[in-house]
Chain A
Amino acid sequence: MYFEAELKGTKYKVDVIELRSQWKISIQKEGDEWQHFEISKTDYQHTESYFSFLFRGVSYMMDVVGKDTEYTVFTRNSFRTVKIFNDEMLLHESLKRGGGFGGDRELKAGMPGKVIEIFVKEGDVIKANKPLLIMEAMKMENEMRSTRDVKIKEICVKQGDSVEAGATLVKFEDP
């Protein structure tokens, strides 16, 4: 199965083949050569709550959380979020977003919390890196800012709302 992936802003092509007793995985970092890995299934085993991954003898306890196009991988006190798309999804994403992935059209809540204050209103044209609203979670107030120049299409929440992780807060369109 062929994927395109993105990790910390770097793009990768990834190819996964499942055989009876091993995984064949090829990874190409943008601009680099393909690298090929053969991983025996006994070296990538699921235990009760995590994977034990023996990679060329190095032992990793791993966990992978996520679905669809975004997975967060935890290991050795570290974690990274990997965006991953297969062909259908790439097509779907490009239709939805009008080219390339990552050009956000909405602001979503990264964690469950409460909307404390909203600084913008529908129809406002906002420069990049301007405060949009303040969310409170775990006694901390977090200011959420625009990542690019946008026009506010819709504000989906109001002050005082409690929202779940992933809830859409504000929708944008091009200014």
Chain B
Amino acid sequence: MAKKQFKKVLIANRGEIAVRITRACRELGIYSVAIFSEADRESLHVFLADEAYKVGPPPSKESYLNIDKILEIAKLTGADAIHPGYGFLSENTVFARACQKAGIVFIGPTPENIEAMGDKLSAKALMKEAKVPTVPGSDGAVESLDEARRIIREIGVPVIIKASAGGGGKGMRVVRQESELESAFRACQSEGLNYFADPTVYIERFITDPKHIEIQIFGDTHGNVCHLFERECSVQRRHQKLIEEAPSPSVPPEVRTKMGEAAVRAAKKINYVGAGTIEFIFDNSTKEFFFMEMNTRLQVEHPITEITTGIDLVKEQINVALGNPLTFRQEDLRQKGHAIEVRVCAEDPETYKPSPGLIRACRHPQGPFVRVDSYAYPGYEVPIYYDPMIAKVITWGETRADAIERMQRALTEFILSGIKSNIVLHRSILKHAKFQDGTYTTQFLEKNFEVIEPELFKEVEDHIFLIAAAITAFNDRKSKDVRQLNMISKWRLASRKLQLRT
């Protein structure tokens, strides 16, 4: 009997993830339909898909977030399913429901799943019911100093007091001993009132050495849920992940098992279907972990899980969307070796400012145990409208040290010119002692990593840059007015040479 399969899948996304999904479709014999905004006509995902249709003007709101237009294209092309990728409409219940209504399969969780995890407070309450550890704290407003005192006696110090309406570092105080409580409490209340017109404060355990560690889970429509172990994503800047690795160098085996089990309980609590990620904040000093939030979609960093477990997560998403049971059982799953992913972005590595523009040369790393998920190519112009990430480089090694060395090697091979990229930044991070010993926390880039510019670029001597610039400048001017410039130059040269020699 022929296996049930989608005939055609529309990919409601762009860039590298659209390319990634197209690859899975092609391997499964499914036709792929790309959509593109007016700024993306020359994007690689358009070239690689079987069909491609314009969805609207460059701004996301009018293109990749245009639900009506996307469904119209899906109907027009006869797509029987839509894969939303990550970002854009991937966690949008209106879109998931609109697909359902149109009789098109949404390759992702149910709208109810997305809703259950969409609201942080209700998600936290659900997780408590499922006995998933959450950050100990007041669970709401703390009215009085006495109440605050009672809470910190219960959960212990250090704690952080936060103004409910606060943000940007205002209205936040860390309390390391009970004697500091009163002044911190009053300060947060008054800052809340002064800056945000709201004196409400709450209290939480303060995590001294926080790490971002997340568990990949997978559920099907038959009630099975498995976890595919953890990924550590603590190298972040302003909550944007830069480097991820699996397994985490900080999680002991018994804690890994507990985290996996907690993540499965969390997913089962909401009858989760498809690929999802439970994010935990991990205290590296106590090895405790607490639920942060759940991402109800495929993650950017999914390749490191694929590489270490051997499971193709996108194909598995399609399998689950067809209504089939998971292709694996928990006891079949193993983490083999170590994988690292770096996100290559079109940005200045010193200032972190985006650097869109024309890619001139582009040569991706190759060789053993290197995977590159990229949509960059020579002559492609990175548009200003979307995320600056253009490529992900993933390496595997038997050990963590092997994977790091291999990543250094791969990044050395990566040639990219015309736009600035953060590849040098990645290479400096990989070399850093705190990355190497695995003790880095989410504060690593802000606190431990001072970008010393000469360090970042020291591999190449200044005169190499000068020689290349000078030869090009020479050729440019020569072609402009060969005779005149050479004449002037030779006279002046002669006199300068004379001066030099005397």
Chain B residues contacting A86 (CB-CB under 8 Å) are: 473, 477, 485
Chain A residues contacting B354 (CB-CB under 8 Å) are: 111, 137-140, 142
Chain A residues contacting B457 (CB-CB under 8 Å) are: 78, 80
Residue pair B387, A138 in contact (C-beta under 8 Å): yes
B103: min CB distance to chain A, Å: 34
Residue pair A73, B468 in contact (C-beta under 8 Å): yes
Across chains A and B, the number of contacting residue pairs, with CB separation under 8 Å, is 167
How many chain A residues touch B (Cβ–Cβ < 8 Å)? Answer: 58
- The majority secondary structure among interface residues of chain A is strand
Query: For the complex, what is the distance from the CA of A86 to the CA of B363, rounded to whole Å?
Result: 34
Residue pair A61, B473 in contact (C-beta under 8 Å): no
The stretch that binds A, out of B71-79, B246-254, B300-308, B492-500, is B492-500
Using A18-B474, A73-B469 as known contacts, say yes or no to A63 and B360 having CB atoms under 8 A apart: yes
Q: Which 4 A-B pairs have the closest CB atoms?
A: A63-B417, A138-B354, A74-B417, A82-B469
B85: min CB distance to chain A, Å: 16
Using A5-B469, A16-B470, A25-B470 as known contacts, say yes or no to A74 and B463 having CB atoms under 8 A apart: no
Binding site for A on B (CB under 8 A): 346-347, 353-357, 360-361, 363, 378, 384-388, 411-412, 414-418, 420-421, 423-424, 427, 453, 456-457, 459-460, 462-474, 476-478, 485-486, 488-489, 492-493, 496, 500
1/0 per position for A1-21, CB-CB distance to B under 8 A? 111010110101011111000
Binding site for B on A (CB under 8 A): 1-3, 5, 7-8, 10, 12, 14-18, 23, 25, 27, 29, 34-35, 37, 39, 44, 49-51, 53, 55, 60-67, 71, 73-80, 82, 84, 86-87, 110-113, 137-140, 142, 165
Residue pair A111, B357 in contact (C-beta under 8 Å): yes
Residue pair B384, A137 in contact (C-beta under 8 Å): yes
Of the candidates A1, A2, A8, A61, the one having the most CB atoms from chain B within 10 angstroms of its own CB is A1
Chain B residues contacting A82 (CB-CB under 8 Å) are: 465-466, 469
Residue pair A27, B463 in contact (C-beta under 8 Å): yes
B216: min CB distance to chain A, Å: 26
Look across to chain B and name the residue whose beta carbon is closest to the beta carbon of A165.
B357
